[in-house]
Amino acid sequence: MNNLSNRSYIIVAIFAVVGIVYTILLFRLQVLDSDYKQYATNNVLREVVQYPARGLVYDRNGKLLVYNKTAYDLLITPREVQTFDTLLFCNLLNIEQDDLERRIQKAKKYSRYKPSILIKQISPENFAILQEQLYKFKGFHSQTRTLREYTHPVAAHVLGYVGEVTGRDIQRDEYYKSGDYIGQSGIEKTYEKQLRGTKGVKKFMVDVHNRIQGSYRDGEEDQPAEIGKNLISTLDLDLQIYAEQLLQNKKGAVVAIEPSTGEVLAMVSAPTYDPSLLVGRVRGENYSKLLADTLKPLFNRSLQAKYPPGSTFKIINTLIGLEEQTINLQTRFECYGKASSPIRCTHNHVSPANVVDAIRESCNPFLWNTFRSILNKYKTSAEGFNVWRKYALNFGLGRILSKDFPNALKGDLPQQALYDRIYGEGHWNALTVRSLAIGQGELGVTPLQMANCCNAIANRGYFYEPHIIKEIENDTVRSSVKVKQDVGIEARHFEPIITGMNQVTKGNLAGLIGITGHDFCGKTGTIQNPHGSDHSAFTAFAPKEDPKIAVFVYVENGVWGSRYAAPIASLMMEKYLNDTIATRRIVTEKRMMEANLLNPIQPK
Amino acid sequence: MPRRNNILANIDWVTIGLYLLIVLLGWLNIYAAVFNEEHQSIFDITQRYGKQLMWIGAASVLALIIMLLEVNFYVFFSFIIYGLLLLTLIAVLFFGTVVNGAKAWFTFGGFAFQPGEFAKFATALALARYMSSYGFKLQKPKSLLTIAAIIFLPIAIIILQNDTGSALVYFSFVLVLYREGLSGVVLFFGTLFALLFILALVVSNLTLAIIMIGMVMLAYLVFNPKLKQFAYVFMVYAVCLAVFILADLVIKTNFETDQFIVAGAVVASLFVMYSSIKRRLPNYTKIAIVFIGSVLFTISVDYGFDNFLQAHQQVRINELLGIESNPMGAGYHVNQSKIAIGSGGVWGKGYLQGTQTKFDFVPEQSTDFIFCTVGEEWGFAGTFLTIVLFLTLFIRLVWLAERQRSSFSRIYGYSVVVILFFHFMVNIGMTIGVMPVIGIPLPFFSYGGSSLWSFTILLFIFIRLDASRLEQLSV
Ligand SMILES: [Zn+2]
């Protein structure tokens, strides 16, 4: 035991060492180092968060889409506030006295010694006036923020908007502090990490009069803000503007994609809104207005509206039949027009029809027979259905196509289990689910998915992930956009389809939708609407060989595919390919732009 | 009653005197920290100094009750007290109130009470009781496991309360175990690497280098207490460091000062290693090797942390160590705290004349950052005196512990002193930026009823045990 009691000396030695080390450190801090006295006479160490400018967004040709403008926040440190001329103050800020009182109380409640924001996002013009007088108000200071500004009032849904972080954002990522901004939809949300940059902090010494006396420790402890990375989007600004003009006063959506890359050239959801409405102090009010609007301008139809794909889907069914060899180019099916069973045909045409005729005429009986042959090829209808479903998935239906569109829906592509549940296992067959043959029934497809199908057809069997960002400054776009996605159908099977689609654009529609100087392919669609006029759809790509653009246009209450959707699609393609619209088509262009379909009761 | 008189005669009035002095100084500084012109009456219980006066009064009553109780009471009820406190801690988990992110408080009306504070003396009692039981041998695996259980049960519950800072206090019991025979090697390497790991991430490289060099010097002294040889080693380090620091000042390079210092110390260690092998001083060889190993270890911890861990893992470890990644967070407090202390100079600005600790520049100024007020208003004179006062108390307590006949009293006494020491070291260390900001109070000094009472109970049970040191305890 005696031996162990020697250890008491070691324990005391440990105490002594800590005591001596602390004494030395305190001596250095209090006696040797004069810096700290200097800082204390300057009274307050103020840390100012440096907010980086968000990255800019350009279109595919280097035209600026989104940039930043400066705004100022006025901050209050309640402890430092002295009596001041509230009337002058309120006049400068253009607020009511009791509003000011409320805001000050709120700041006091948050903290008496930490600065908090009193007034947000003051415009540079107003701030210039305020700043001259600011010295009269002790305890107030400003910080610089940046707000989004747009070169053109277009592409609101694609670009998205920036808003203040919510409690959940702060919980999820501790980079964010109350009052910070975060991308809340569109590109701003998907590319938030790249666009936001990194906040910094600058430490200043300020005297009792709130004047900055210089940086703390010569800025040794400052962390400079890193500005956000610039993005080059795949959008073509001119095409986007043009598409929005064509869709004005209509409900609908347009998606245009470059087939060789999957780059989205234009994406419109109508009615749309001016993105600058959701910036700055007017944001909250405008947001509520847009939210309350019965036309739902905030609803992104190009990603979230689910339509039955209609006759556009007939192309896919025909392709599946060809690949599964249940039909071939010699196959002909009888069509009895309106007398056909179990699905009647809506057109008058040659009968029996082959593949090309069927595509051109959108022949329902042909499609029914093809669909039945696919399901009946296998032992059970369910097995055949699953083969069919696999192709539909390959085309991008029923799934999310890209991370670039955070709000996109995956659409409806029914599973075997659904029919098993409704009809009982083994108790359903091609006849039961026949509406799938003509793109109706349980199918729900978004315009983005439709445009992507068209893209795959234009490429004769493959597509690249449709995406919206082409390049990120000092960074790389995720590699998935460079992966070729094969739909599993041989290229040769596309030729009769493309011939049929080409004939669509050449018949009696040629005058209305022909593109000057280019041979192209298209397919109309009309979707029955029990609530009013039918919806109009058109899928197309141009030119026929080596396609440069694939488009899907959807116009609600547009009656027939050929009435609105087809002219709009062809005008867009002409604009994109030729940069101008031929004189003979100006009338059509004018008619499209001026058409107002927002009144839901239209003559049939 | 002759026995009572006997106790009165055997009470260690020096310790009680030191206790009263520290409590009084604490109160004076709390008064200064929250002083404002509107409320000047010292009895104003709407103000913290008024409340603290109430706590002090209540603490005196507590101390008196503790002294009046039969000494065997503490021995007999030690496990029961420990069990009750554990149950209370668990109850807090379910019914407690969250203060500063930790669900560690019970609130009654306007008063908050933190059971975790009281678990310290209960754990000390249980540990003393167990380790003083008949036939106890520390080296037996069963003994070590039981001890680990006694210490880690409260730690686990307190960590669940999200109060990691308070939980760290319990690691100070290692020193008690060391005094009771735990191998010095275990203590040394265990604490060394745990400490290095934390320090490598928490403090600046320069501070770490200074701490490590201080530690290696201490090691030379402790493991070979022959002055002549130590003086030689000391010279070697002094010369090497001087050369390298001079080199840093003279030559412009891309290397930082701390890298020069570390390099100097490593060169010195290599030299000591070489000459100690020649002179057959194996202890010195080992220490030099351990030092070089430690340097490599800290470098690899730093490197590994920065390069191998994912961002979210870094954040989690930082949180655990009390480092906030927020630029306005912990660093802000420490800067303000250092400005306050540093601005005090040699003699301070005078009582109630401080500007930094007034109002709210330094957060938690009357609780965790009370030492700032001392530093600002009393200067280096005040901080030095405070350190001396605490060290005197600690040394007095070690001396008292060593004079106990029963191992129960001795073990309890050591537990008291190491707990107080740990608080002292971390609390003052954090105000001068060499310890992570974990919110633990300065004993007897910081504002707060729970902490004052718990430290009072902790200390006075030992004073009571010491007063009966001549009696036979019924362990
Ligand atoms: Zn037909």
For the question of an ipTM over 0.90, the answer is: no
- Cα–Cα distance, B227 to B235 (Å, whole number): 12
Which residue does chain B place closest to A27, by CA atoms? B380
Strands A57-58 and A231-233: parallel
DSSP A534: P
Phi first, then psi, for residue A484 (nearest 5°) are -70, 125
pLDDT of res. A602? 47
B15: closest CA of chain A, how far (Å) = 17
Separation of CA A603 and ligand 1 centre (Å): 26
Domain A237-269+301-477+484-594 sits in which CATH superfamily? DD-peptidase/beta-lactamase superfamily (3.40.710.10)
B43: closest CA of chain A, how far (Å) = 25
Q: Tell which B residues from 403 to 462 touch A, by Cβ distance under 8 Å.
A: 414, 418, 421, 424-425, 428-429, 432, 434
- Cα–Cα distance, B154 to B170 (Å, whole number): 8
Phi first, then psi, for residue A234 (nearest 5°) are -85, -5
Separation of CA A430 and ligand 1 centre (Å): 19
Separation of CA A558 and ligand 1 centre (Å): 23
Going B384 to B390 to B396 to B399, the CA torsion angle's sign is negative
Max mean pLDDT range (A32-36, A537-541, B130-134, B216-220): A537-541
CB-CB neighbors (< 8 A) of A41 in chain B: 343
- A46-233 and A237-269+301-477+484-594 share one fold: no
Neighbours of A111 (CB within 10 A): 14
- Cα–Cα distance, A213 to B13 (Å, whole number): 53
CB-CB neighbors (< 8 A) of B418 in chain A: 11
Cross-strand bridge partners of residue A527? A535
CATH-assigned architecture of domain A46-233: Alpha-Beta Complex (3.90)
Domain ranges (residues) in chain B: 2-186+319-467, 203-307
Separation of CA A363 and ligand 1 centre (Å): 4
Task: Please compute, for residue A354, the number of CA atoms within 13 A of its CA located in the half-sphere on the CB side.
Answer: 9
Give the pLDDT band of residue A534 (cuts 50, 70, 90): confident
Q: Could you read off the pLDDT tens digit of each residue along chain B, which spans 475 residues? A: 445 556 777 888 999 999 999 999 988 888 877 765 555 565 566 677 778 888 889 899 999 999 888 888 888 899 999 999 999 889 888 887 776 666 777 777 666 778 888 899 999 999 999 998 888 888 788 888 899 899 989 988 887 877 777 788 888 898 888 888 877 777 777 777 777 777 777 677 778 888 888 888 888 877 776 778 888 888 898 999 899 888 888 877 777 778 888 888 889 988 888 888 888 888 888 888 888 888 888 888 777 777 666 555 565 556 555 554 443 444 566 777 787 888 888 887 777 766 555 544 555 666 788 888 888 888 899 999 999 999 999 999 999 999 888 889 999 999 999 999 999 998 898 888 777 777 788 999 888 888 899 999 999 999 999 988 877 776 5
Which residue does chain B place closest to A176, by CA atoms? B326
pLDDT of res. A486? 93
CB–CB contact B340 A40 (8 Å): yes
Domain ranges (residues) in chain A: 2-32, 46-233, 237-269+301-477+484-594
pLDDT of res. B256? 77
Residue at token pair 């009654």: B108
Query: Helices B282-307 & B205-223, crossing angle to 10 degrees?
Result: 160
Going A458 to A467 to A572 to A557, the CA torsion angle's sign is positive
